[in-house]
Amino acid sequence: MSVPEPIVFTIRKSRRARHARLAIHPDGRVVVTLPWRVPKEIAIPFVRSHASWIREKQKKQAARSSLMKPLGGMGGYREHKDSAMRFVLDRLAHFNAVYGFTYHRVCIRDNSSRWGSCSKKGNLNFHYKIIFLPQELADYLVVHELCHLKEFNHLPRYWKLVAQTVPEYKNCRKEMRRFVLK
């Protein structure tokens, strides 16, 4: 039987943390967050006791992120920013014909972890890789951010708004977990 690879991790201290916590990032990094007064030496047995869970999560993250890796060979942000902007503006106009919301600026970004966001000022931001998603997921993302202009939360009223144009939003949310940004 082979000896498993050691788990490499980073320790963070937090004044707000009450318990030790593990986080597995999309790139497979392991971060242990400890309460401020807990000694760092606690992290090693903590990680060992969760080793099988960590390895399982890292394997799932690797499988998810491999879905997005082919996009790297298709050119990057600069090459696709303009076409992503045209796509997003077209889909916003299409869906906003139903909603009639007012938004201000639309930006295409190369964030590391978010597909989209909506600011309190009514600015909408989208990741340039939205153009590589299946159409129904890209549409869901556009509608998701558009509806935040009216409901800046994820309460039932918000989801009711989303369902007006994307009735299968629950399936889309589940499917989006397969596409991890890096």
User: In whole angstroms, how far apart are CA 90 and each of 11, 40, 60, 102, 128?
Assistant: 44, 51, 34, 15, 14
As to burial, measured by CB atoms within 10 angstroms (0-12 exposed, 13-18 middle, 19+ buried), residue 85 is middle
What backbone torsions phi and psi does residue 128 show, to the nearest 5 degrees? -60, -25
Rounded to 5, what percent of the chain is helix, strand, coil? 50, 15, 35
pTM, 2 dp: 0.64
User: In 52-105, at which residue ranges do the beta strands (DSSP E only) sit?
Assistant: none
Count how many residues are written for the chain. Answer: 182
Position 160 scores a pLDDT of 98
pLDDT at position 96, please? 96
Q: Is residue 139 within 8 Å of 96, Cβ to Cβ?
A: no
pLDDT at 127: 94
Tokens describing residue 149:
């202009």
Residues lower than pLDDT 50 in the chain = 70-71, 73
Structure tokens at 137: 């997921």
d(CA 114, CA 132): 15
How is the beta sheet containing 21-24 ordered, strand by strand?
A: 9-14, 30-35, 21-24
Give the number of other CB atoms < 10 A from CB of residue 177: 9
Token readout for 158 is: 């918000």
- Residue 73: the pLDDT is 47
- What is the pLDDT at residue 182? 64
